[in-house]
Structure 1
C-alpha cells in the first residue's frame, strides 16, 4: 500500500477518535457535571492515553503522537473536573 495512503488513514483515524472527546469535554466544562463518568475508568483511560502518546513519540509515529497528545488534554480536563466536582 502506498505510504501516503497509510499516513492519510492514520491521520483520519486520529482525527476521528480525538475529536470524539471534544463534545464531552465541552459539556463537562459547561455543566461541571461528571456524575455519569467513572473515576477509575477515566483515570485508567488518561494513563493509557499518556502511554500511547509516549509510544507514538518513541516509535516516530506522528499520527499516534498527535492524536494522543490532543486526547490527553481533553481526557485530563475531564478527569480534573471529575476529581474537583465530585
Structure 2
C-alpha cells in the first residue's frame, strides 16, 4: 500500500506539471515565470533525481527525471525568448 501511494504521488505531481509545459510550448511565452523560481525548481528537482538514483527508488527517480526534462524545456524557451527580445 505504501508503495502504491508513492507511485501515485509521483505520477500525479509529475503529470500535473505537464499542462504548463504544453501551454508554454504552444504560446512560447515565459513572461510569467521568474528566473529565480525556474532555477530553484530545476536545482531542487535535479537534487531529488540524484537522491532517487543514489537510493535506487524508481518512483522518485522516474518522476524527477521527467520533471527535470520538462524544466529544461521551459528553461530553453525562456533563454531563447531572452535572446529574441534583444
- TM, length-normalised to structure 2: 0.90
Work out the CA distance in 1 between the residues paired with 2:57 and 2:11.
Answer: 14
**Structure 1 unaligned regions, length at least 5:** none
What's the CA shift for 1:76?
A: 1.0
Match of 1:39 in 2: 35
Q: How does 1:44-59 map to 2 (within 5 A)?
A: 44-59=40-55
Query: Aligned to 1:70, which of 58, 61, 66?
Result: 66
Work out the CA distance in 2 between the residues paired with 1:51 and 1:12.
Answer: 21
Work out the CA distance in 2 between the residues paired with 1:15 and 1:59.
Answer: 19
- Which consecutive aligned stretches of 4+ in structure 1 deviate over 3 angstroms post-superposition? none
Is the 1:39–1:83 Cα contact (8 Å) retained in structure 2? no
SS in structure 2 at match of 1:35: coil
What's the CA shift for 1:60?
A: 1.3
Number of aligned pairs? 82
Work out the CA distance in 2 between the residues paired with 1:35 and 1:70.
Answer: 23
SS in structure 2 at match of 1:85: helix
